Structure 1
Amino acid sequence: MKFRTFALFVGPSILLMVLFIAFPLAMVLINSFQVTNPVFTTQSVETCTPGFLTQTCTTEIKTIPVLDEAGKTVTRTEWVGLSSYANVLGGDRALRALSDFDLGALLQIDFWKALRFTVTFTLITLPLVIGLGLAIAVVVNNAARALKGPVIFVSLLPFIITPVIGALSIRWLFYGDGIVTVWLEALFATDLSIAANGWAIEFLMMFYRVWHVAPFAFVIFYAGLQTVNQDTLESAIIDGASRWERLRYVVIPHLMPLIVFVTLIHLMDAYRAFEEVIGFSSQSYRITLQYLTYDYLTPDDSGNRAVSSASASAMLTMIGVVILLAAPLRRTWRDHRGS
């Protein structure tokens, strides 16, 4: 293929990647090293009480923002280096907690609290999603032809539902006087307040993630099962291999590239979890790194946003994603070189 033809095919994709991925990422990186604040000035304001003979006046010094000719607040950008990262990580509080090996104090800092939950959430749900997706795929693959269509349709329903709607649906089952909560209270003859228990909320958030994402893994694995070499399976049956041995030594090795693919997708999605925090209103108990970035961007009482801290939080989140993806990407590269 000539270079001109190759450039015509690849050029638009590269241009869009630069505009919508590389450029925004570079701007986030730059914003994490600088802080933009409004410019304020002090002004004397004299206030007088009503009256002529008994009038008293007081002078107050007020701080007001400087406005330009268009009436907009004048801002000033300062290069602060790694100060935003230190602020997000907790600064001196984190150093004291680490030096004292005080895990409780460390987890009181928003970033470390979000990191703990995000990593736990990601690594616990990963094997559950893969295992449940593979189990459903094997069951559907061995089901009667007349049952495959309905089973596939029902299995895909959680993945079709909008994430926030799915999270709210599970929340309504357990929070307050939800149906499941009422049943549990009647079964154990006690009052339950799941919304006031951080670990119960964490369990529900993980349950929702597995319920929502397992159908995606099921579709990928079910497609892979259609390409398993039937001659190899028949040879294993003739050799006396059990169903479990055929799954372990024939099917799973054949599906390993797809398992790595599902792992990559799940790690990226789960580490950037956000819908669960909103759907389950878990801000007081459990937050994710993605929600922490959103919280920094929420305007304060003065209408200001902590853009620098949000950028630093986003960069730290991206670094965490890269670290988690290193192992499966290394395996993919090794398998590619081996082939």
Structure 2
Amino acid sequence: MKFRTFAAFVAPSLILMLIFIAAPLVSVFWQSFHLTQTVFETVEVESCTPGFVTQTCVTETQSRPVIGEDGEVETVTSFVGLQSYGTVLEPDRAGQALSNGSITELLSIPFWGALRFTLTFTLITLPLVIGVGLAIALSVNNAVKSIRGPAIFISLLPFIITPVIGALSIRWLFVGDGILTALMESWSGQDIAMFAQGWTIEILMLFYRVWHVAPFAFVIFYAGLQTVNQDTLESAIIDGASRFERLRFVVIPHLMPLIIFIALIHLMDSYRVFEEVIGFRSEAHRISLQWLTFDYLTPDDAGNRSISRASASSMLTMIGIVILLIPLLRRTWRDHRGS
């Protein structure tokens, strides 16, 4: 292929990536080292009580934002270095908690509590998604052909549902007098409040993520099973290999590139967990790094947003994703060089 032809195909994608990916990343990186504040001015305001003879006037000093000629509030941006990262990480408080051996005190810091939940959520759901997806794929692949179509359709339903709608649906099953909560209360004879403590909410969020994402892994694995070398499987059967041994030494090595692919996608997606926190309304008990960034961007009573802290939180989230992906990327690179 000529270079001009190659450039014509690649240029639109590169331009869009520069506009919608590279430029925002550079902007967030720049904002994480700068602080934008509203310019205030001090003015004297005189207020008088009603009346003429007994009228009393009081002069008060007030601070108010400076309005520019364009009618907008004036702001000033200054370089603060790593101050925003320090505000998010709170290293002094975190170091004091570690020196005291108090994990509870450390997790009470918003960033470290969000990091704990995000890592737990990501690393627990990853093997479950791969295992459940592979189990469904093997079951459908070994099923009778007449029921494969309906089985595939039913298996894909959780993945089709919008994430927030799915999270809300599961929450409604358990919150208050939900159907499943009522069944558990009638069976146990005790009052059950699934959303009164953090660990039960976390279990429901883990369950929802596996239920929602496992169909994606199922589709990938099911497609990969169609390309397994049947001669190799027949040879293993003739040699007396059991079903488990065929799965371990023939099927899984063949699906290993797909397993790495699913792991890459799932790590990037789960580390940015957000829908579950919103859908299950777990802000009082469990928050994620993505939700923490959203919280920084939520205007306060004065209408101000902590853009600098939100940018620092976003950069820290990105660094965490890269660290998690390094082992899989190294494995992929070694396989590529070996092939």
Where on the TM-score scale, by shorter chain, does this alignment land: which range?
over 0.9
Structure 2 stretches lacking a partner, 5+ long: none
Equivalent residue, structure 1, for 2:126: 126
Aligned-pair distance for 1:98? 2.5
Distance 2:64 2:120 in 1: 46
Does residue 1:68 correspond to 2:68, yes or no? yes
What is residue 261 of structure 1 aligned with on the other side?
A: 261
For 2:4, the aligned partner's letter is R
Residue 47 of structure 1: how far off its partner (Å): 1.1
Q: Whole-Å Cα distance in 2 between the matches of residues 168 and 135 of structure 1?
A: 27
**Residue 150 of structure 1 pairs with residue 168 of structure 2:** no
One-letter amino acid of the structure 2 residue matched with residue 136 of structure 1:
I
Following the alignment from structure 2 to structure 1, what is the Cα–Cα distance between the partners of residues 52 and 153? 84
2:330: which partner in 1?
330
What CA distance in whole angstroms lies between the structure 1 residues aligned with 2:285 and 2:336?
43
Superposition pairs for residues 37-48 of structure 1, below 5 Å? 37-48=37-48
- Name the CA distance, whole Å, in 2 between partners of 1:67 and 1:213: 50
Q: Tell me the alpha carbon deviations over residues 154-189 of structure 1, each in whole angstroms, 9 at most, x when there is no partner.
A: 000000000001001111111110111111111111
Q: Deviations over 1:39-84 (max 9, x none)?
A: 0000001111122222221110000100011221000001100000
How do residues 185-200 of structure 1 correspond to structure 2 at under 5 angstroms? 185-200=185-200
Deviation of 1:12 after TM superposition, in Å, equals: 1.3
**Displacement, 1:101?**
2.6
SS at match of 1:196: coil
Which segment is superposed worse, 272-281 or 10-19?
Answer: 10-19
User: Which amino acid is 1:132 matched to?
Assistant: V
Which blocks of at least 5 consecutive residues in structure 1 are unaligned?
Answer: none
* Distance (Å, rounded) in 2 between the aligned partners of 1:157 and 1:191: 32
1:1-53 CA-to-partner distances (Å, cap 9, x unmatched) read: 32222221211111111111000000000000001111000000111112222
User: Secondary structure of the residue that 2:301 maps to in structure 1?
Assistant: coil
SS at match of 2:195: helix
**How high is the sequence identity, in percent, across the aligned residues?**
70
In structure 2, distance between residues paired with 1:63 and 1:240: 85
Matches within 5 A, 1:22-101: 22-101=22-101
Structure 2: distance between partners of 1:197 and 1:54: 60
* Large movers: runs of 4+ above 4 Å: none
Q: What TM-score, normalized by structure 2, do the two folds share?
A: 0.99
Supply the distance in 2 between the matched residues of 1:240 and 1:98 (Cα, whole angstroms): 55
The alignment partner of 2:51 has SS state of: coil
Could you say which residue in structure 2 is the equivalent of 1:7?
7
Query: Could you tell me the TM-score, scaled by structure 1's length?
Result: 0.99
Give the superposition deviation at 1:231: 0.1
Amino acid of the structure 2 residue aligned with 1:272: R
Helix, strand or coil: the match of 2:294?
Answer: helix
How far, CA to CA, are the matches of 1:248 and 1:298 in structure 2? Answer: 49
**Corresponding position of 1:275:** 275
Aligned ranges 1:149-188 → 2 under 5 Å: 149-188=149-188
Task: Name the CA distance, whole Å, in 1 between partners of 2:228 and 2:317.
Answer: 38
